Structure formats: C-alpha cells, structure tokens
C-alpha cells in the first residue's frame, strides 16, 4: 500500500467531530439580505434558540414590515405577517388565544419605533408574555434609507440630506431604555452581532428572552444594533466601524432590565 492510500484509509476511518452545523429549523434558502447586513446573523440566532428550546412546533413568528419581512422563508415555524407596527398587538392576541405557543415578534426600528410605538409600549406595559426581537439599524432600510426615530443626530439619510437636526426632528429614540422603564417589562437587553464575542452575548440574550416566555415570566425585548451598509452607502467593514464609532455611543449595549432584580429566578432549562 502506498503512503497515499494508507493516508486516505486512515482519514476515512477517523471519527469526524462536528463543530458547526445549520440549525435544523433554518430552511436551506439563501438569505436575500445585502452583504454586511446583520439581519441574517439575527435570523440564525433565533433559529438556534428555537432548536435549543425544542419549540419548533410551538413557535409562532409575528413579522413586521421591513427587510425582515421574509423571515418565514428562512425559519421553519408558523408565521403571521402583521401590518406595519402592529406586531405586538397581533402577538398579544395569538399568545392569549393559544398560551402554549411561543410567540415572538421580529421588527425593525421604522416598524417598532415609529408607526408601532404605541403597540410596543402598551404590550410591554401590560406585561404580555411574548418575546420581541427589535432590529435597530437607524434607518428605514427596506424603503430606501429614510430617517427613522432612531436616526442619530447629524446622520444623513434620504429624508435628512443635511443631517438629522434635533431642533426640527427630535432626538434618537432609545427603545431599550424606554421599555425597561415600564413596570410591565421583565427583561430588556441591547446587543450587537458584529464580532464573535458579541454574537455569543446576543445568542445568550435570545435564548434568555425565549426562556422567560416559556417559563411564563413575561415580556422580553432584545434590541440588536445593526448595520445597513446599503443605505448608509458604506462597504460592510466601514459600516461596522461606523456602528462602533457612532451608534454604540448613543445606544450602549447591556442589560437594561434583569429578571433577577425583580425577584424572578429563571428555572434552569
Ligand atoms: C402602513 C404602512 N406604511 C408604510 C409602509 C412602507 N414601509 C415598508 S417597510 C418600511 C420601513 C421599514 O423599516 P424598518 O422597520 O426600520 O426595517 P428595516 O428594513 O430597516 O430592517 C416602510 C415605511 C408599509 N408597508 N405599511
Ligand atoms: S437594505 Fe439594509 S437592512 Fe435591508 S437587507 Fe440591505 S443592508 Fe439589510
Ligand atoms: Mg430599520
């Protein structure tokens, strides 16, 4: 036997250790997102959490309007499309009618922080037992990069070509802080997913947000600070630099409301 044949035989007998695989509820469809967009990473984290908690048959996604609108093409769970901004109201009805379902919303900042501000505040204030995934990329991504309530002061967008001016346009809306201030919310965290370390933190937040609902402990909101390279008119690496230099200063990462400080202990799952 030649050395080469011996090597092939040895390799074919070696036990392979799987270190990375696709979540089973993630469909084999290529994402439609632009290069450098963070929606895809967030979709994967949600799919991993559904697998981990073994809730694929119970999970119901309520999808807002924006670039995340095709979530049902990627994650194999039951899903409903909500009119723009109304996902928390639809999720409320679904969860109340079917308490064993695990209901989560997926919403952008235009969806949740502009047209849907009323719905998110009242759902959180009522302490609905739902999980909200909120993607803050500081613009209306899907419709061409218009100014959103989350747009930074001075940020140029298609509807603020000279930069957002707080005197006429107000200040960036800090959703995590706002929702954390309401008595009804249980868990609020702001995360990002542009480095492996931050992805690991975001993964834990997603798992926790779902676990809180499964254990009947109330309302969770996870805010993801995300890049929209296309509408920021930047290549993906520069978009991440911009995120780090400007967005994270206005929107600091961290836990804004911790169930433990409310005397709620999460049972280990
Ligand atoms: C009632 C209503 N108004 C406006 C629109 C148009 N619209 C579609 S997506 C969108 C903005 C989405 O932005 P965002 O929620 O931030 O999501 P992103 O695309 O940035 O992830 C708007 C205004 C709509 N679909 N329905
Ligand atoms: S437009 Fe922005 S938010 Fe939408 S897919 Fe492209 S990069 Fe992502
Ligand atoms: Mg947006």
Ligand 3 centroid, distance to 17 Cα (angstroms)? 39
Ligand 2 centroid, distance to 100 Cα (angstroms)? 33
Specify the pLDDT at position 268: 56
pTM of the predicted structure, to 2 decimals: 0.94
Pairwise CA distance, residues 255 & 61, whole Å: 24
User: Which ligand 2 atom minimizes the distance to the CA of 38?
Assistant: 8
Render the burial of 63-98: b for 16+ CB within 10 Å, e for the rest.
bbbbbbbbbbebbbbbbbbbebbbbbbbbbebbeee
pLDDT in tens, 46-79: 999 999 999 999 999 999 999 999 999 999 999 9
Specify the pLDDT at position 1: 65
* Domain ranges (residues) in the chain: 33-257
- Given the candidates 3.40.50.720, 3.40.50.970, 1.10.260.40, 3.60.20.10, the CATH classification of the domain at 33-257 is 3.40.50.970
- In short, whether 229's Cβ falls inside 6 Å of ligand 1 is no
pLDDT in tens, 125-153: 999 999 999 999 999 999 999 999 999 99
Specify the pLDDT at position 269: 44
Low-confidence ranges of the chain (pLDDT < 50): 269
Ligand 1: residue whose CA is nearest its atom 3? 84
């Amino acid at each position: 036997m030649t050395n080469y044949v011996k090597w092939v035989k040895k390799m074919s007998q070696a036990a392979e250790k799987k270190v990375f695989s696709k979540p089973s509820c993630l469909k084999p469809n290529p994402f439609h997102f632009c290069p450098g967009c963070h929606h895809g990473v967030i979709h994967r984290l949600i799919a991993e959490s559904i697998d981990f908690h073994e809730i694929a048959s119970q999970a119901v996604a309520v999808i807002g309007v924006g670039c995340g609108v095709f979530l049902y093409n990627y994650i194999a769970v039951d899903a409903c499309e909500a009119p723009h901004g109304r996902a928390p109201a639809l999720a409320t009805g679904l969860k109340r009618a079917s308490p064993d379902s695990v209901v989560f919303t997926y919403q952008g900042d235009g969806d949740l922080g502009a047209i849907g501000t009323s719905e998110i505040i009242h759902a959180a204030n009522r302490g609905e037992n739902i999980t909200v995934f909120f993607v803050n990329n500081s613009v209306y991504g899907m419709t061409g990069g218009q100014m959103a309530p989350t747009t930074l002061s001075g940020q140029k967008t298609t509807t603020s070509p000279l930069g957002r001016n707080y005197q006429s346009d107000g200040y960036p809306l800090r959703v995590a802080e706002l929702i954390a201030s309401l008595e009804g919310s249980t868990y609020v965290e702001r995360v990002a997913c542009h480095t492996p370390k931050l992805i690991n933190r975001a993964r834990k937040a997603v798992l926790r947000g779902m676990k809180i609902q499964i254990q009947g402990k109330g309302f969770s909101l996870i805010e993801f600070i995300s890049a929209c390279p296309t509408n920021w008119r930047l290549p993906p690496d520069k978009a991440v630099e911009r995120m780090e230099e400007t967005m994270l200063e206005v929107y600091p990462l961290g836990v804004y409301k911790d169930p433990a400080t409310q005397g709620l202990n999460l049972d280990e799952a």
